[in-house]
């Protein structure tokens, strides 16, 4: 079985000859799946039910054997008062966690009744951080200075690889003979990770030639991609989103059965003290839950929930009402390219009017409001002692 070439992402030259579309057609997908069934002894009839032409996924997956259906629900109407997202939205969420959508929907109804969530993107920069080897610290410092003094030349090399990307900055960090450059890009409506990688490699080759340093890796982990990081938590990566809402006391008590004082104390002792005591990089209740479900539904990279989870949730009593906010420093979403090309994910984006050019910031603002709704609901449930009962009732 190990000699069957169609298992491999890169077929042999002999197999590739004359088979330009090998691995992309439905017949190839079926053949590959049948081989998996034979090898494992499992039968995969549900996975086999691919509802679209497999060629549409040629840039999204290798060794395709079918699709993996995930239950899809929605929350809303959720009223968002953003700079780009302004109105009521039904937000798709794909999950297998019972109670999640019910909880976020409860928070959405309260936010909408309270007049909506304010949401805004205050920073929008995708990063890539190559690492170079220098002769010594002086050489590394000289190379960093060259980049600073010749940033326009570096920018031209990077931007020659992309239609959408713009190099905004290149911040140096030096440790011994290692020179890290954290490149930051504007990437338009693409999430932009691949764009930033290709552009950074082109810029790095120029820097090598001009400074005598050696590129060791186009990603030196100062990006920081798909890992929890204090740098991203502080400086941001992708879109930094702020969202808040003020919920009147009467509305909170009637809908959530909790007082503003109880919710504020729960948030303080849980999200602030508990997170600090555990040295967490996320000072929140469960930001990752909302992001994971919304990312999967809309064709985002679900691994970037790691960075997205580093949100900060605050709650205060202001003039007798509950004020709640979230700061999300790393919302990495796009409305073109990547998984947004796939039919179901494109449909999910279209539910919110977020498919295509000019919509990425709008999507990020909606993500901020959805996270706020989930945080509000969960903290209210915990303040009222309802969390366990809700999960038990809804199948968890």
Q: Cβ contacts of residue 175 below 8 Å, gap of 6+? A: none
Q: What is the pLDDT of residue 32?
A: 95
Q: What is the pLDDT of residue 392?
A: 55
- The predicted model gives 362-390 an average pLDDT of 90
Alpha-carbon span 238 to 228, nearest angstrom: 14
Alpha-carbon span 239 to 124, nearest angstrom: 4
pTM of the predicted protein model:
0.91
Alpha-carbon span 168 to 361, nearest angstrom: 18
In which band, very low, low, confident or very high, does the pLDDT at 7 lie, cut at 50, 70 and 90? Answer: very low
Rounded to 5 degrees, φ, ψ at 17 are: -55, 120
CA angle 349, 352, 353 (to 5 degrees): 85
Instruction: Give me the CATH code for the 72-124+238-393 domain, please.
Output: 3.90.770.10
Alpha-carbon span 313 to 272, nearest angstrom: 8
Among 292, 372, 357, residue whose Cα is nearest residue 324: 372
> Among this protein's residues, is 189 annotated catalytic?
no
pLDDT digits (tens, 9 = 90+) for 305-355: 999 999 999 999 999 999 999 999 999 999 999 999 999 999 999 999 999
> Among this protein's residues, is 250 annotated catalytic?
no
User: What fold is seen in the domain 130-217?
Assistant: Alpha-Beta Plaits (3.30.70)
The helix (run of H) or strand (run of E) holding residue 68 is none
- Say what percent of the chain tops pLDDT 90: 90
User: Contact, 117 vs 245, CB < 8 A?
Assistant: yes
Q: What is the pLDDT of residue 42?
A: 96
pLDDT of 194 higher than 70: yes
Q: What is the pLDDT of residue 220?
A: 97
Share the mean pLDDT of the chain: 92
CB-neighbour burial class of residue 295 (10 A; exposed 0-12, middle 13-18, buried 19+): buried
pLDDT of 6 higher than 90: no
> Among this protein's residues, is 265 annotated catalytic?
no
In which band, very low, low, confident or very high, does the pLDDT at 23 lie, cut at 50, 70 and 90? Answer: low
Question: Which of 253, 301, 316, 347 is labelled catalytic?
Answer: 301
The helix (run of H) or strand (run of E) holding residue 178 is strand 178-186
- The predicted model gives 245-258 an average pLDDT of 98
Structural domain spans, the chain: 32-69, 72-124+238-393, 130-217
Question: Which of 97, 153, 316, 321 is labelled catalytic?
Answer: 97
pLDDT of 68 higher than 50: yes
Rounded to 5 degrees, φ, ψ at 270 are: -85, -60
The tokens for 250 are 């009467």
3-state secondary structure of 221: coil
In which band, very low, low, confident or very high, does the pLDDT at 393 lie, cut at 50, 70 and 90? Answer: low
pLDDT of 126 higher than 50: yes
């Amino acid at each position: 079985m190990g000699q069957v070439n169609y298992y491999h992402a890169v077929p042999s030259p002999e197999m590739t000859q004359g088979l330009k579309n090998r691995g992309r057609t439905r017949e190839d997908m079926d053949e590959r799946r049948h081989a998996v069934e034979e090898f494992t002894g499992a039968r995969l009839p549900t996975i086999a039910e691919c509802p679209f032409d497999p060629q549409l996924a040629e840039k999204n997956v290798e060794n395709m054997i079918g699709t993996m259906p995930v239950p899809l629900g929605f929350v809303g109407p959720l009223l968002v008062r953003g700079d780009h997202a302004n109105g009521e939205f039904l937000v798709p969420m794909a999950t297998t966690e019972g109670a999640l959508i019910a909880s976020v929907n409860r928070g959405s109804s309260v936010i909408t009744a309270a007049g909506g969530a304010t949401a805004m993107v205050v920073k929008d920069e995708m990063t890539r951080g190559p690492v170079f080897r220098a002769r010594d610290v002086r050489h590394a410092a000289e190379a960093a200075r060259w980049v600073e003094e010749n940033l326009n030349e570096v920018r031209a090399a990077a931007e020659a690889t992309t239609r959408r990307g713009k190099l905004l900055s290149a911040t140096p960090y030096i440790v011994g003979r290692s020179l890290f450059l954290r490149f930051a890009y504007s990437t338009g409506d693409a999430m932009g990770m691949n764009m930033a990688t290709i552009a950074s490699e082109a810029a790095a080759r120029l820097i090598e030639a001009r400074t005598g340093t050696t590129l060791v890796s186009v990603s030196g982990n100062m990006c920081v991609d798909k890992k929890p990081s204090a740098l991203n938590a502080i400086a941001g990566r992708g879109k930094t989103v702020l969202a808040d809402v003020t919920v009147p006391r009467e509305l909170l008590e009637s809908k959530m059965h909790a007082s503003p004082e109880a919710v504020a104390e729960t948030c303080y002792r849980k999200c602030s003290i508990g997170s600090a005591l555990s040295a967490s990089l996320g000072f929140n209740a469960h930001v990752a839950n909302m992001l994971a479900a919304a990312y999967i539904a809309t064709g985002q990279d679900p691994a970037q929930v790691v960075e997205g989870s580093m949100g900060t949730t605050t709650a205060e009593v202001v003039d007798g009402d509950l004020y709640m906010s979230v700061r999300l420093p790393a919302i990495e979403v796009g409305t073109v390219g990547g998984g947004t090309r796939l039919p179901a994910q494109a449909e999910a984006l279209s539910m919110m009017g977020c498919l295509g050019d000019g919509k990425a910031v709008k999507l990020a603002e909606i993500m901020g409001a959805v996270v706020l709704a989930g945080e509000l609901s969960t903290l209210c449930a915990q303040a009222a002692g309802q969390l366990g009962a809700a999960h038990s009732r809804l199948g968890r």
